[in-house]
Amino acid sequence: MNIRKIITITENTLTEGGRAVDPQHRVAVVAAVIENPWKGQGFVSDLGPGIEQNASDLGELLAPRVMAALGSAAQAYGKAAIVGLDGEIEHGSALIHTLKFGDHFRRAANATTLLPAVEKRAAAGTVFDIPLKHITDATIRSHHQSIEVRIADAPHPDEILIALAASTSGRPQQRLAALSTEGRK
């Protein structure tokens, strides 16, 4: 795996709706910009060897870094794969939609739910939103949130940007009723 750079972003929300957020809402993102393992190969029918060579190592690299950047227990989490223009969306999906990748984050966050994800093919500097959901119950609405990310020089056409995100709580000042309070008709 050829890594060009690793980026760490943290966001702390101190006020929302004109009121203090207590405790502060913190979101951390850690992204690795890697050379696309399938670059220059044309259409590859079997992505398995590239998954085997890279997915677990990426998860092992990113999961502890995002937890350290968060500095607290995670309550919500998510992931992203942004593929450079010379690659396929399936290349990013192959790396992040496998237990070899995701289980590193689940263990680090003490999580059990599926990791919500965004994946797309885009030019360097594209803006993307990483969706986050609760780490043990994806139906908890207060934790459905997202963080907007932009890395100015990534991904290059032959790269993939892989990112993990975690938050210390649900949305700041959330006040929607629990999903269980809504009756179905």
For 38-86, how does the pLDDT look when each residue is reduced to its tens digit (9 = 90+)? 999 999 999 999 999 999 999 999 999 999 999 999 999 999 999 999 9
Q: Where are the domains of the chain?
A: 3-174
Those residues with Cβ within 8 angstroms of residue 10's Cβ, 6 or more apart along the chain or in another chain: 26, 27, 28, 29, 69, 70
pLDDT tens digits, residue range 55-66?
999 999 999 999
pTM of the model: 0.94
Considering only CA atoms, which of 35, 13, 32, 33 is closest in space to residue 23?
13
141-156: burial string, b at 16+ Cβ within 10 Å, e else: bbbbbbbebebeebbb
- CATH for 3-174 is 3.30.1330.110
